[in-house]
Amino acid sequence: MRIAVLGAGAIGAYAGAALQRGGADVHLIARGAHLEALRTDGVRVLSPRGDFTAHPHATSDPAEVGPVDFVFLGLKAQHYAAAGPLLRPLLGPSTAVVAAQNGIPWWYFHGIGGPFAGRRIHTVDPGGAVSRAVPVERAIGCVVYAATEIVRPGVIRHMEGTRFSIGEPDGTVSARCRAFSEAMTAGGLKCPVEPELREDIWVKLMGNITFNPLSALTRSTMAQICRDRSTRGLARAMMAETLEVAARLGVTPGVSIERRLAGAERAGDHRTSTLHDVERGRPMELDVLLTAVVELADLTGVHAPTLRAMDAVARLLNERLADGTAGATAPVAPPTPAPATAPAPAP
């Protein structure tokens, strides 16, 4: 099986290394110092499940790879519309594109019935640009539950999670999904084929829509947000409004708000990818995580005042990041340990 990873960053390189270890013929598309390290030393994965090194082919030129069976799309969703020229050389007649993105995907209303069947979500597919770059009939959805980061070029730290849930937009359990799942499993990852992948999308989104913008706006970690009474209440309100939108679309995620908050608090002083972007002066991945849900709230008649307020202030910050007037910031410092003589916190 030939697999190209377009966007071999933290998640893409980790998945590609696992696939190569499992026996697939993997080709990583990367650039810069990261590409040079991949070419020279392969992908070094540091993981509590065991460190390993894989040596997939790495290049900056997709034409050097040619058509493959699967493209694992590791780009952030805001780059999908411009990905057409990079993707095109990798596509054969039956190539599937496994889109490992956060938030609401461009294919969300594809392959289903009901009043919104085939509807375009303009926030995530403006003017059909993403659908032209990544045709919906090639798309396999993917919800990522793994946490990884690039330690240095070519070196990926895997912190937790090995699950990559996949599914067809129309809910069928297809041969191509089963084949990709088997390849991922052979590499040591979990890759269930989910007929109801939209439920997974909303479960993951409950956290992303809340903690990504909140962490960026407050420069705080997930645990800090959860431990503060006011921001915990704000997070709870955002999740409740998100679930109301999901319910209007016929999806009821099987995870309660309190369980989702407790899980985020257990993550400790984890800085979200959005916070990392803001610290580096980069625009946030905002449209698919928050603005798209506001569009869906308009579509379904949900008031969602908290989401709308958060979207307004986050979009203003994104504009300042895009034009360079916000600037980069220092990383969040870890909390200062309490003195040894300090009284124990109340249970």
Q: Is 252 exposed, middle or buried (0-12, 13-18, 19+ CB in 10 A)?
A: exposed
User: CA–CA separation, 163 vs 175, rounded Å?
Assistant: 20
Residue with tokens 């910050």: 317
CB 233 within 8 A of CB 213: no
User: CA–CA separation, 331 vs 278, rounded Å?
Assistant: 9
| Token duo for residue 209 | 């829509």
Q: Following CA atoms 167, 169, 175, 179 in sequence, which dihedral angle do they give, to the nearest 10 degrees?
A: -40
Question: What residues form DSSP beta bridges with 167?
Answer: 141
Read off the DSSP letter of residue 107.
T
User: CA–CA separation, 322 vs 110, rounded Å?
Assistant: 31
Q: Following CA atoms 114, 116, 118, 123 in sequence, which dihedral angle do they give, to the nearest 10 degrees?
A: -150
DSSP E strand stretches across the chain: 2-6, 25-29, 43-46, 52-54, 57-59, 68-73, 91-100, 139-144, 147-152, 155-160, 164-167
For the question of residue 204 being annotated catalytic, the response is yes
Which entry of 34, 204, 260, 271 is annotated as an active-site residue?
Answer: 204
DSSP letters, 267-311, are T-SPPPHHHHHHHTTPPP--IIIIIHHHHHHHHHT---HHHHHHH
Find the length of the chain. Answer: 347
SS3 (DSSP) at 174: coil
Q: Which residues does 325 contact at the CB level (< 8 Å), separation at least 6?
A: none
User: CA–CA separation, 120 vs 141, rounded Å?
Assistant: 16
**Catalytic positions:** 204
